[in-house]
């Protein structure tokens, strides 16, 4: 555009007016500008705009697995929000691999995205992501990154787990287990810590029973079966995400266990299981919206220290705790 203006000996504003069919340009000036545009093969398409600005108008998203409903809701809400600002979202799956994530970061940066939203595959920032953050805004979602100063959007892990424990205790459960996802996942660690803190604070009896994955085939069933034995056996279990909830539900069917389950993450059909499953709803759509809004705030020139947004959770009580109170078993 500057080149066209120089050649036509007019201001950039004038070129812009011609391109956008705005008034205020004399006909012969407009013709001249158009001829030069024609000559230079300048088209008003995104490619040209990208070269001018050195940026495309897309945002890159890296999650673990787009096929997982939690991530697809996150991506769908981000896509909607980005679109309302005329940006496309390029969504990719790192499949839990830090190496794959680094490759994707590099490829998206080469692709000139305007910014990156990442659900980190590991707790330490890779070289790729640190170098990306020097060129463009990066927002972490669901998990923070050590070694990277970046805006971060998290679920209220402490509040969510505490609401689950308090709900069960209010319904007279005293022995409650906790099963988390893979131990390398930050939220699994964090929710386990929140569980232990609540257990302590409420003065629940005995050693708290917790485990993080990964789990071998049949391991969840065996574990729950063991934890449920005897007078001191657990009567309820809290999970750290929907993947573990599914494993617990499957384990219960296989072994005929009779435990109350409270799942972190809500899921479709939680209402229709027998008994219905109470869930900590953490609203992936809100996390996605907040992340992309924060990204656009930086693109719009927001300065200052990185922000951490904590999105509240909501306990959706489906009556599962009331159905089989601990008192019946004690």
Task: Give the CA count within 13 Å in the CB-facing half-sphere of 50.
Answer: 12
Q: Edge-to-edge strand order for the sheet containing 260-264? A: 209-213, 176-182, 236-239, 260-264, 278-281, 314-316
String of DSSP letters for 125-164: --HHHHHHHHHS-EEEESS--BT---EEEEE-HHHHHHHH
Q: How far is CA 280 from CA 102, 167, 202, 267, in A?
A: 32, 11, 19, 10
54 near a second copy, judged by CB under 8 A:
yes
Strands 115-118 and 138-141: parallel
Q: Scanning residues 274 to 303, which ones bind a second copy (CB under 8 A)?
A: 274, 285
**Shortest separation between residue 73's beta carbon and a second copy, angstroms:** 5
Determine if 320 is a binding residue for a second copy (CB under 8 A).
no
Residue 112 touches a second copy, criterion: CB under 8 A: yes
Positions in 189-248 near a second copy (CB under 8 A): 246
Stretch that binds a second copy, among 57-65, 126-134, 141-149, 308-316 (CB under 8 A): 57-65
Residue 47 binds a second copy, judged by CB under 8 A = yes
Per CB under 8 A, contacts with a second copy among 87-106 are 88-93
Q: Please enumerate in sequence order all residues whose Cβ is within 8 A of that of 60, keeping only pairs 6 or more positions apart, or say none.
A: 89, 90, 92, 104, 105, 108, 111, 113, 115, 116, 117
CB of 75 to a second copy, least distance (A): 6
**Is residue 58 at the binding interface for a second copy, with CB under 8 A as the rule?**
yes
253 scored as a contact of a second copy (CB under 8 A): yes
193 touches 160 (CB < 8 A): no
Least distance CB 146 / a second copy (angstroms) = 27
Contact status: 51 vs a second copy (CB under 8 A): yes
Stretch near a second copy under the rule CB under 8 A, chosen from 76-84, 164-172, 194-202, 313-321: 76-84
Binding site residues, a second copy, CB under 8 A: 2-3, 40-43, 45-48, 50-52, 54, 56-58, 65-69, 71-73, 75-77, 79-80, 83, 88-93, 107-108, 110-112, 246, 249-250, 253, 267-269, 271-274, 285
């Amino acid at each position: 555009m500057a080149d066209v203006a120089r050649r036509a000996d007019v201001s950039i504003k004038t070129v812009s007016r011609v391109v956008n069919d705005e008034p205020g340009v004399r006909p012969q000036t407009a013709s001249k500008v158009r001829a030069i545009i024609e000559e230079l093969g300048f088209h008003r398409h995104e490619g040209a705009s990208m070269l001018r600005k050195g940026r495309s108008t897309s945002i890159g998203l890296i999650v673990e697995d787009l096929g997982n409903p939690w991530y697809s809701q996150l991506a769908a809400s981000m896509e909607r929000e980005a679109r309302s600002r005329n940006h496309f979202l390029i969504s990719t799956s790192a499949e839990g691999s830090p190496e794959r994530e680094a490759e994707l970061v590099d490829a998206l940066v080469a692709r000139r995205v305007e910014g990156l939203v990442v659900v980190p595959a590991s707790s330490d920032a890779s070289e790729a992501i640190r170098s990306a953050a020097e060129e463009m805004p990066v927002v972490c979602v669901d998990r923070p990154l050590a070694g990277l100063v970046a805006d971060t959007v998290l679920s209220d892990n402490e509040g969510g787990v505490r609401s689950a424990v308090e709900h069960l205790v209010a319904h007279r459960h005293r022995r409650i287990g906790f099963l988390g996802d893979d131990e390398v996942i930050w939220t699994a660690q964090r929710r386990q810590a929140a569980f232990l803190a609540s257990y302590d604070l409420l003065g629940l009896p005995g050693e708290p029973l917790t485990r993080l994955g990964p789990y071998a085939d049949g391991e969840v069933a065996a574990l729950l079966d063991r934890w449920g034995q005897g007078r001191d056996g657990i009567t309820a279990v809290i999970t750290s995400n929907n993947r573990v909830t599914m494993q617990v539900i499957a384990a219960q069917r296989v072994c005929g266990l009779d435990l109350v389950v409270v799942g972190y993450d809500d899921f479709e059909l939680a209402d229709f299981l027998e008994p219905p499953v109470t869930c900590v709803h953490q609203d992936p759509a809100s996390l996605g919206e907040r992340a992309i809004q924060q990204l656009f705030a930086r693109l719009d020139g927001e300065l200052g220290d990185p922000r951490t947004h904590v999105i509240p959770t909501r306990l959706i009580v489906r009556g599962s705790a009331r159905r089989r109170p601990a008192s019946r078993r004690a």
